[in-house]
Structure 1
C-alpha cells in the first residue's frame, strides 16, 4: 500500500551528496576501462576524458538550473515531463532507466571480476549473489546509513588513488612507459584522429554518470539550494580525478600490449606499478569504490522508479511504495537487486555501451528542458544575458551530447532503440493510445507530507 503521509527523509548535507555523486561515478573506473579506452582512442585516454568533461560541464550547468525550478527527485524524467510533455517525459525517463538500472549491475559485474582474480577457484556467481544481497539490504534499511558508508568508502578509494600517483611518479622516473613524468604523448601524438577521440569520449562519458544522479536526492537534501553546487563539485572533482589518473596510466602504458585482459585492466595496473602487495591493496580500494558506486547507483534508480510510480506512470502500489519504518522505496530497491543478479554473465564493455545510450538521451533532454522552460514558458530571451544562459549554453550542451550520441557503438544504438520502442508500446497501453493522460504529480505534495 502507498502511504500518502510518508515521504523520503531529509538527511543529506552538501558533502554527503557530493560523496554520493563521486561514489556513483566510481573514480577508480578509469583503471577498469583503461584498456578499452586506450584501444578506442589509440593511446590518448586523458584527452578522451577531457573531451567528455567539457561536454558534461555544459550539461551540469543545465541540471543546476532545472533542479532549482523542480526540486524533486526524478531528474531528466521530471524536467522533460514538466516543461515539454508527460508522454515525452515518460520516454526520456524510460530511456534513462536503461543506464540507471544497468549501472548497479556493472558494479556487481566488476566485483565479480575482482573476486575471481583473487579467488579463481570460487564460482563467480557466488560473489554476485553475496554482493547484491548486502547492497540491497543496506539500501532498504536507511538512506542515511547508505550515505555514511559511501563517504567512508570514497575517502578510502581517494587515498588509494593518491598512492597510485606516487608510485606512478617513481616508475616513470625510473624509465617505465614514457620514461618521463611530464610528456605530451598521453594527450597528443601523430596517430590520433578526431573520430577516435570522440569514440573514446563516448565510452568514458559512462564514467561521469553520477553528477546527474545527484538530482535524485532532491527530496532527501537538508537544503535543496545546495544541489546546484553539489552537481558542479561532483563534475569538477570527478573529472579532475579521471584526467590525472588517465594521464599517469597512459604515460605508464602507452599501449595495451602488456595486458593479458583488456576488458578490466585495474588488477594488472596495480601489479605492474606496485607489485603483488599493491595489487591486493589497489583491488581493495577499487572494491571499496565499486561498493560505494553500487550503494549510490542502487539508491538513485530506486528513487527514479519511486517518482515514476508516485506519478502513476508505473504501477503506483508497487513502485510508489515507501516502507513505513525505514522510509525508503523498499520494493524498488529489491527489484534493482534482482536485476543486478544478471551480472553473473555479461562483459563490462557490452553493458557500459548500453548505459551510455540512456545517459546521453537524458543529458540531451535536460539541456532542451532549459530552453523549453526559460525561453518558451518564461519568455526569457529579451536580454543578451538570458540568450546566452537559456539558449546558447543549453544548445551547446545538447549539441555536444548529440555528437557523442552519434558516435555510440552500433550494439548500443540498436539495443537502446529496442528498449525505447518497448517503452513506447507500454506508454500506448497505459494511455489507451493517448486517450488517457498520464497522472501528473503536484510538486507541492512533497511539502505537505510528513517528515521525521
Structure 2
C-alpha cells in the first residue's frame, strides 16, 4: 500500500501568529467603525475591550485543548473527543458557517475598496480576479500562503502606524475631540451598557483568527508553539484594534461626516490624510484583507479536510490531499466557489451571521476543557486545577454567553436555519441514528 499523503509541516511560531493576525484583518476596525460607532453611540474602543476580555479566556481554553488534541479540527475535534460525536458534528457544522463566510467577507471588502477607487469597472471583475488568485495560492502551497501573508501583514501594520501618527497630528490641531488624551471614546453621557455589548458581538468577529490558528496544528514545525501563538495573536490583535479604534473615535466622535457607514476605511483615510493617504490607506486595508483571505481560505479548507478525513463529509472529496502540493486542493477550490457569492451581499448582515458560528465554537471549546480535565481526567483535587480547568473556562463560557444574548436577530435566524440543514444532513448520514457517526481516523496517519 502506498504511503498516505499528509499535510506538510512548514510553519514556525511567527508564521502562525502572522496567519492569525492576517486572518483577523487589523484594518477591519476601520472597515466596521461606522457600523459599531452607530451601535455603541460612539465608544468603539470600549466594545473592543469587552470583546478582548471574552476572547482572552476563550484563547486560554483553546491553548489547553490544542495541546491535548493536536489536530486540525479545532472546536469540532475538541467537542467530538470530550463530549459526544453527534454534538461534535453540530459544533463543527456551526463553525463551518463562520469559516465559510469569512473568505466571502474578505472578497466583499476587497470589492468595496476597488470599486471606491475604480467606480467604472464592474464589481464582479474584482471579486472573480481576487478569488481566483487566493484560491491558486492556497492550492499551490501552505508555505507560499504563509510567506505572502507575512508580507501583507507587515505592510498593513506599518500603515496602521502611519494612520496613528497622522491622527495624533490632526487631534493636536483641533480635529474631532481636539485632544490626544480623552475619555470620550471610552465613555460619555448617553452610552448604554446594552449597546456596548451589542457592539461587542459585532467586533467579536474581528477576533476570529486566533481560533483558526488551531487549524494549522498539523502544519506547525513544532506543534507545541501553537498555544503560545494563540495568546500572542489575541493580545497583539487586541492592542491594534483598541489603539486604532481609540484614535478613529477621537477623530470622528460620530458618523455624521461619513457618506458610507457600511465600510468607513476609505473615508477615514481621506479625512485624516487627504486623497493620497486615502489611496495608501485603502492599500493597507487591501493588503490585510488579502492576508485574511489567504489565511481564512486555508483554515476552512482544513476544517473541511478533517471532517472529510473523519468521514462525516464524503471522504474521497473532502479528505483528499493533493500528492504534489500536499494541500486539500478540492476544499480550497470549493471555498473559492463559495467566495464568489461576494458579488452581492451586505457587509453588516454577513458579519453578524458569522458571529453565530464563532460564538458556538467559543462556547464549546470552554466546555470541552471542563469535560476533558474535570470529568475525564478527574483534575479537581487541588485548588489550582479547579481554577485552571473549571473556574476559568466557566468564566469564558459565561462571558461568551453574554455576547450570545446580544446577538443580532438576523444572525440568530440565519444560524438556526444553518443548524437545521446540518441536522438533516446528520440524520441522512446516520440513517436516522441507526448507525453511528464515522469515527476519527487513526491520528498516527497525520504527521
TM-score, length basis structure 1? 0.98
Alignment of 1:111-126 (within 5 A): 111-126=110-125
CA-to-partner distance for each residue in 1:222-261, whole Å, 9 max, x for gaps?
A: 0011000000000000000000000000000000000000
- After superposition, the C-alpha distances for 1:9-32 in whole angstroms (9 at most, x for unaligned) are 000000000000000000000000
SS at match of 2:177: coil
Cα distance, 1:406 vs structure 2 = 1.4
Aligned to 1:32: 31
> Structure 1 pair 347/259, CA: closer, same or farther in 2 (3 Å)?
same
Alpha-carbon contact 1:59-1:398 (below 8 Å) kept:
yes
- 1:31-430 counterparts in 2 under 5 A? 31-430=30-429
Cα RMSD of the aligned pairs, angstroms, is: 1.0
Kept in 2: contact 1:212–1:231 (CA 8 A): yes
Q: Is the contact between residue 157 and residue 285 of structure 1 (CA under 8 Å) also seen in structure 2? A: yes
Tell whether the 8 Å contact from 2:4 to 2:445 is kept in structure 1 after alignment. Answer: no
Q: In structure 1, how many angstroms separate the alpha carbons of the residues matched to 2:393 and 2:427?
A: 30
CA spacing shift, 1:345–1:4, aligned 2, 3 Å: farther
The answer to whether the Cα contact below 8 Å between 1:77 and 1:89 also exists between their aligned partners in 2 is yes
C-alpha deviations, 1:158-211, integer Å up to 9, x for none? Answer: 100000000000000000000000000000111111101100000000000000
Q: Distance in 2 between matches of 1:351 and 1:407?
A: 16
Q: Per the alignment, do residues 3 and 120 of structure 1 end up closer, same or farther by CA in structure 2, a change over 3 Å counting?
A: farther
- Does structure 2 retain, via aligned residues, the 8 Å contact 1:3–1:321? no
8 A Cα contact 2:309 2:441, kept in partner: no
The 2-side partners of 1:68 and 1:141 are apart by 29
- Going from structure 1 to structure 2, the CA distance change for 1:3 and 1:272 (only over 3 Å counts) comes to farther
Alpha-carbon deviations, 1:25-50, whole Å to 9, x = none?
00000000000000000000000000
Q: Distance in 2 between matches of 1:159 and 1:28?
A: 11
CA contact (8 A) 1:357 1:412 kept: yes
**TM-score of the pair, normalised by structure 2:** 0.99
Distance 1:323 1:293 in 2: 23
Distance 2:65 2:5 in 1: 25
- Whether the 8 Å CA contact 2:74–2:215 is kept in 1: the answer is yes
Question: Does the 8 A contact of 1:10 with 1:221 survive in 2?
Answer: yes
State the 1:3 CA deviation.
8.0
Give the C-alpha shift of residue 439 in structure 1: 1.6
1:24·1:210 contact (CA, 8 Å) conserved in 2? yes
1:446 deviates by 3.4
Counterpart-to-counterpart distance in 1, 2:443 and 2:34: 48
Q: What is the alpha-carbon distance in structure 2 between the residues aligned to residue 443 and residue 386 of structure 1?
A: 30
CA contact (8 A) 2:98 2:357 kept: yes
Residue pair 1:35, 1:265 contacting (<8 A) in 2 also = yes
- Runs of 4+, deviation exceeding 2 Å: 442-447
CA distance in 1, matches of 2:118, 2:249: 28
State the Cα distance separating 1:107 from its structure 2 match: 0.3
Aligned equivalents of 1:25, 1:375: Cα separation in 2: 32
Deviation at 1:4, TM superposition (A): 6.2
Structure 1 distance, partners of 2:120, 2:377, is: 62
Determine helix, strand or coil for the equivalent of 1:314: coil
Conserved 8 A contact 1:306-1:321: yes
How far 1:445 moved relative to its partner?
Answer: 2.4
What is the distance in 1 between the residues matched to 2:2 and 2:339? 27
SS in 2 for 1:114: helix
> How many angstroms apart in 1 are the aligned matches of 2:139 and 2:2?
16
* Runs of at least 5 residues in structure 1 that lack an aligned partner in the other structure: none
Query: Aligned partners of 1:307 and 1:353: how far apart in 2?
Result: 26
Distance 2:269 2:381 in 1: 55
Question: Which deviates more, 232-241 or 381-390?
Answer: 381-390
Any conservation in 2 of the 1:72–1:443 contact (CA below 8 Å)?
no
Change (3 A) 1:202 1:443: farther
Please state how far the C-alpha of 1:442 moved relative to its aligned partner. 3.9
Gaps of 5+ in 2: none
